[in-house]
Structures are given as structure tokens and as C-alpha cells.
Amino acid sequence: MTAGEGAIGYADASQAGENEIAKIKVGEEFAEPTPEAAAKILEESPEDKALAADEFMFPFKLDHRTETSGTYPIVLVSYILACTKYGSAGEAEVSRPTSNTRSARKARKRRLKTPAPRRSRVR
């Protein structure tokens, strides 16, 4: 966020450090990005099962236009749930979260011994 004077940068609130953090107008007030205000957007937003790829996904259609006081409407919500026990060490290894770098994808491919999904490119 030092690319230029007056530039707007985006960072996770926990990584903002000494930088100014945007207060967003919600209704007649300006909300700050607190954990409570960020969580409140889920209270204000409906679950949207049409976006779910399977029964284990719980997507929400975030209501970024909410005017409910105390809500910070600009959030990224992510979560992961995993088993605490597996049938074998091999199952546990395949289920282990990894990064999405090229080397991590290659390692997963080797572990799973299945072809990686093909990606189309727009030119």
C-alpha cells in the first residue's frame, strides 16, 4: 500500500498494522471492522443453498447493502471443517490442508495419483 500517494490498498484487518482502516457507512452510522461487526453480516444475510456444490457447503448471499447498525458489510468469509479421525494415515495425509501453489498442487496430484483438473485459459 505504498505504491502511490492517495492510493487505496486492501489488506486483511489483522494485517493492516499502522495503516488507516476504512469505516463504511451503514445506514446513518460508520462501521469499523470489528470481529462482531464482520460476523453480523452473516446474521443479516440469507443462506443460499443454490450455490452449494454439495450437502456439506453452507454458502451465504451476503447483503452488502444492509443498513443494520453495527454491521461491517465488506468481508471475506471462509471456513473449513475436517474430521478429527481418519481410517488410515493415508486418508489423513490426503485430507491435510495445503497451500494452492504450483508445487503444492503437484504434491497433491502425486499423493492422490489422479490427474489434476484442466483449466481453460482466456486469451
Report which DSSP code applies to 47: B
**Other residues' Cβ atoms within 10 Å of the Cβ of residue 34:** 12
Residue 40 CA to residue 71 CA, distance in Å, equals: 5
Per-residue pLDDT at 25: 93
Residue 121 has pLDDT above 60, yes or no: no
Domain ranges of the chain: 8-79, 83-113
Q: In sequence order, what E strands does 3-93 have?
A: 24-26, 29-31
Per-residue pLDDT at 68: 93
Residue 87 CA to residue 101 CA, distance in Å, equals: 28
Residues of the chain with pLDDT > 90, as a percent, come to: 14
**Residue 1 is placed in which grid cell?**
500500500
Per-residue pLDDT at 26: 93
Per-residue pLDDT at 1: 59
Per-residue pLDDT at 81: 72
Residues in the chain: 123
Q: In sequence order, what E strands does 1-118 have?
A: 24-26, 29-31
- Supply the pTM of this predicted model: 0.55
Q: Residue 16 burial (CB < 10 Å; 0-12/13-18/19+)?
A: middle
pLDDT tens by residue, 41-95: 988 888 888 888 877 788 888 888 999 999 999 887 777 777 777 888 888 877 7
Per-residue pLDDT at 110: 62
Of 70, 71, 45, whose CA–CA distance to 58 is shortest? 45
